A and B are shown apart, each in its own frame.
Chain A
Amino acid sequence: MGLLDYFRSSGRPKGSASVAKERLQILVAHDRSARDRPSYLPKLEQEILAVIKKYVEVDMNAVSVNYEQEGDQEVLELNIVLPESGGRA
C-alpha cells in the first residue's frame, strides 16, 4: 500500500465481513432462542388455540406463545388477539 492509498483508505474498513457479522448475530440469536425453548411449546400453542376456538372465533395466528429466559427466571408469555366484534354471543 502506498502513501496515497493510506489516505484514501482511512476511515472505517468496509467489506463483506461486516455483513457476515450482522447476519450471524441475527441467525445465532434466533437459533439460540429456539434451542432453549421447552419442546412442549408448539403443542401448548395448539391446545390453547383449540380451547379459545370453542368460545371465540379466532384465526390461527391469534395466539402467540413466547418463551424467554431472564436470569434464572423463565417467562412464558401468551398473547391472544380477540376479534373486534367479540365473536359468537
Chain B
Amino acid sequence: MARIIVITSGKGGVGKTTTAAAMAMGLAQRGHRTVVIDFDVGLRNLDLIMGCERRVVYDVVNVINGEANLNQALIRDKRCDSLYVLPASQTRDKEALTMEGVGKVLEDLGKSHDYVVCDSPAGIEHGATMAMYFADDAVVVTNPEVSSVRDSDRMLGILASKSRRAVNNAEPIREHLLLTRYAPERVARGEMLSVDDVQEILSLNLLGVIPDSQAVLNASNAGIPVILDNASDAGQAYSDMVSRYLGEELPMRFLELEKKGLFSRFFGG
C-alpha cells in the first residue's frame, strides 16, 4: 500500500503546488513509483507546474465517474519514468469528489505505487478536506508571515480531528512543517519571523526551509519542477527536504545570509 502524502496549507499562494510537484519529482527521481494528484477541482494548476498541460485528456473526476479508467487518466512524466500526474477537473463542480470515489482512486493507485502525493486546494473546503481525510503524512506549507502561520495551525487542528486516521483512532497522521519563501536577509533585519520563531509557535517537525528564490518563478514559467534545477538554492532545498522525508538527517541550508568579504564589510556593499 502506498503512503499518501497531502500537501496542505490554510492560506493560498504559499507554494503548495510548487511543493507537490517538487516532492513528487524528488521521490520519483530516487526510484519510488510516485503519482501526484491535483485536488483543486475547478482551478487546476499542477499540470502547468509539471509542464504536462497539453497532454491532459481525462481527469480525476472522469475516473471517479467511471468515464475513464486510471491508466487513461494518468500522465507519465517525460523526464522521470516512475512519476505520473493525475490532473484535476477544470469545469465540473467540486461535489464531484465523493468520499467513496476518492477513496477508491487512492486505493487503486496505492496498489501500483509507493507514494501518492496530493496537492490540495487552499482552505478548508471540500477538495481540501477530501485530500486530508485519507492522508498518512501531511506537509504543512507555511510562509513566515502571520496569517499563514495562523492558518497552518488551524489546519493542524483539522488534521488531528477530521482525518481517517483520527476518526478510526489509528496512529495519527505524521505532520511536517515546510517553511517556504524564506528571506534570510529580512530575518536578519528583524522584519520576518525566523525558522525558530515559526517552529516555536507551531511545534512541528521541520522538514525543510525553501528560500525565497527567483528559481521558483523561472521553473513554473517553464513547467519544470524546481527540484530539477540542481544549481538553484530552491532546487537544492527541495532535494534536501525529500531526503529528510525519506529518513536522512541533513542540516538546514540557506538559513543564513551569505557571508560578506572583508572588503564589502569595511566599505559597504
Contacts and interface: CB of A to CB of B under 8 A. Distances in A.
B194 A17 contact: yes
Given A28-B153, A31-B157, A32-B153, A18 B201 contact: no
B166 interface: no
Nearest to A28: B153
A35 B191 contact: no
Interface residues of B, number: 25
Nearest to B187: A17
B190 A20 contact: no
Interface string A12-37: 01111110110111011001100100
A89 interface: no
Interface stretch (A1-9, A43-51, A76-84): A1-9
A27 B150 CA distance: 8
Contact of B146 (A2, A3, A18, A20): A20
Interface stretch (B31-39, B41-49, B261-269): B261-269
A23 B153 CA distance: 14
A35 B124 CA distance: 15
Nearest to A3: B266
Given A1-B268, A28-B150, A31-B154, A21 B191 contact: no
A6 B265 contact: yes
Interface in B169-201: 187-194, 197, 200-201
- Chain A interface SS verdict (over half): helix
Contacts of A6: 265
B146 A23 contact: yes
Contacts of B202: 28
A33 B266 CA distance: 51
Given A24-B149, A27-B150, A31-B153, A14 B190 contact: yes
B58 to A, nearest CB: 39
B194 to A, nearest CB: 7
Contacts of A31: 150, 153-154, 157
A62 B89 CA distance: 55
B193 A17 contact: yes
A16 B190 contact: yes
Contacts of B145: 20
B268 A24 contact: no
B213 to A, nearest CB: 20
A21 B149 CA distance: 10
Contacts of A27: 150
Which 6 residue pairs across A and B have the least CB separation, nearest first? A15-B190, A13-B190, A2-B268, A35-B157, A21-B197, A15-B191
